[in-house]
Amino acid sequence: MTFELETARHPEKLRRVAIDPVSRVEGHGKVTILLDDDNKVHQVRLHIVEFRGFEKFIQGRPYWEVPVMVQRLCGICPVSHHLAASKALDMILGVKQLTSTAEKMRRLMHAGQILQSHALHFFHLSSPDLLFGFGSDPASRNIVGVVAAHPEVAKKGVLLRKYGQEVIRMTAGKRVHGTGSIPGGVNKSLAAEERAELLKDIYQMVAWSREAVGIIRGLFEQNLAEYNAFGRFRSAGMCLVRADGAMDLYHGGLRARDIEGKTLFDHFDYGRYWDVIAEDVKPWSYMKFPYFKALGTEDGSYRVGPLSRVTMCDSIPTPLADKERETFLAFDGGSAAGATLGYHWARMIEMLHAAESIKDLLHDDDITGTELMATGERQERGVGVIEAPRGTLIHHYRVDENDQVIRANLIVSTTHNNQAMNTAVREVARQYLDGVEVTEGLLNHIEIAIRAFDPCLSCATHALGQMPLEVAIVGADGTVIDAATRDHRGLTREVV
């Protein structure tokens, strides 16, 4: 990754462009770009206001409450927190192997989560960018525009999302705040009628997921030069893999590769993740910067999520997705596998894998079994790691003899990707903002780079009237030269 635009030598002489917060990205983020009088980019930083209250919210609670309450940390991926916490607390209970029914129910829930999250991201958050072009009128670059131009695409996106939510409801027991996964196992299996209900539509979901892979592949073919170059940078990566090296989004060992593709560690026991990963702090950002200890803070930055998982696994254990993975890796001599927009293609391959996994699990009789819980010898510390839709998610707890959580540490996917997102934004700024007028269309390029990672920032707070996009240009003397706000009611330009 590149750091040369991280800190300018003489920032006091530069003009500041701020985007606050980044629209169409959950939560609050801010991009600042310092330009000189000739509009040359000198410094680019993505500031993410990381929520710091996770630990306080969890500490002091009895451990059995944790898998349910952590869902309230994030309204975007509650199931990911539900499962990561459950896995950590399995370890606290000394459970090394779940019953077959429990593991498959959790895998089914997780596949439902991947399906619905990836469907939302591709069809509704990113498809306007991809289908209409990066520089198009922002007013048309929304899902209404997609519906008008590609009605079937938008409708399939809604129905894929809905199907994933139904998988979650039937495995977690409730539509929201599910309780299905508990320390040591699950509290329900799939009822015969639930299984039949999900089986009715799963083949359609697999077919639509295949079509989605075709859509993004076609977009790459049509826009090869732009897609390959957009925000491109080389990066180390990390993900979980199965014992045979295959993709496994629910469980496995940690695999890490450096920027050259050389393996740093493989099948590493995530129960001691702190032996290989540390978190750096920078004075200009609230969010930490994780890195591989063996490489240090700069060379050790890495990215997680669909692009890392699809490019670093040895295979995908469902046939259609694995075939698409091979096509992706071979495309244009492997160029898409290194592109920031390759995240979208990889994400759709994973969505297909999730749909295929749901189909396979629904045909497995273990999913209706009655052995739901396992037991073991009580431990003090537990770590749970899953591959959430946005990347590796770590939950780490210590529980005292009174069954209270006394320490909690969470490293969420967006934190792992902090440096990678900063680098992508810098590359885009270097490509598109150097020496040109700062227009809304150009600022959209920065949002598109961030959105490729599907970041989930400060989670779950929302209210009517929030989430505006504010753009401010501030001169070297601190004077606001121009300012505008865009929220769900439209764009309001403020005359300064």
Binding site for other proteins (CB under 8 A): 23-24, 26, 51, 53, 56-57, 69, 72-73, 75-76, 78, 116, 120, 124-125, 128, 138, 141-144, 147-148, 151, 154-155, 157-158, 161-162, 165, 175-177, 456, 460-467, 469, 486-490
Cβ(450)–Cβ(421) below 8 Å:
yes
Shortest distance in whole angstroms from residue 155 CB to other proteins: 5
Shortest distance in whole angstroms from residue 306 CB to other proteins: 17
Q: Between 192 and 463, whose beta carbon lies closer to other proteins?
A: 463
Going by C-alpha positions, the residue among 129, 130, 119 that lies closest to residue 154 is 119
Going by C-alpha positions, the residue among 215, 190, 213, 244 that lies closest to residue 358 is 190
Q: Between 228 and 417, whose beta carbon lies closer to other proteins?
A: 417
Q: Between 78 and 185, whose beta carbon lies closer to other proteins?
A: 78
Long-range CB contacts (< 8 A, 24+ apart) of 435-440? 435/38, 435/39, 435/40, 436/39, 437/39, 438/17, 438/35, 438/39, 438/473, 440/138, 440/471
**Cβ-based neighbours of 151, under 8 Å, separated by 6 or more:** none
Q: Between 151 and 261, whose beta carbon lies closer to other proteins?
A: 151
Q: Between 5 and 154, whose beta carbon lies closer to other proteins?
A: 154
Cα gap 336→331, rounded to integer Å:
7
Q: Between 367 and 449, whose beta carbon lies closer to other proteins?
A: 449
Shortest distance in whole angstroms from residue 167 CB to other proteins: 12
DSSP symbol at 62: B
Q: Work out whether strand 490-494 and strand 480-487 pair parallel, antiparallel, or are unpaired.
A: antiparallel
Q: Between 70 and 313, whose beta carbon lies closer to other proteins?
A: 70
Shortest distance in whole angstroms from residue 138 CB to other proteins: 8
Shortest distance in whole angstroms from residue 417 CB to other proteins: 16
Cα gap 353→334, rounded to integer Å:
21
Q: Between 160 and 346, whose beta carbon lies closer to other proteins?
A: 160
Shortest distance in whole angstroms from residue 154 CB to other proteins: 7
- Which residue reads 């040369």 in tokens? 4
Shortest distance in whole angstroms from residue 64 CB to other proteins: 17
Going by C-alpha positions, the residue among 116, 297, 296, 98 that lies closest to residue 187 is 98
Shortest distance in whole angstroms from residue 345 CB to other proteins: 20
Shortest distance in whole angstroms from residue 125 CB to other proteins: 5
Cβ(1)–Cβ(235) below 8 Å:
yes
Going by C-alpha positions, the residue among 192, 125, 177, 124 that lies closest to residue 155 is 124
Cα gap 79→105, rounded to integer Å:
13
Q: Between 69 and 246, whose beta carbon lies closer to other proteins?
A: 69
* β-bridge mates for residue 381, sequence order: 398
Q: Between 177 and 363, whose beta carbon lies closer to other proteins?
A: 177
Cα gap 247→250, rounded to integer Å:
9
State the angle between helix axes of 100-120 and 192-222 in degrees (0 to 180), rounded to the nearest 10: 40
Shortest distance in whole angstroms from residue 175 CB to other proteins: 7
**Cβ-based neighbours of 142, under 8 Å, separated by 6 or more:** 128
Going by C-alpha positions, the residue among 429, 447, 431 that lies closest to residue 128 is 447
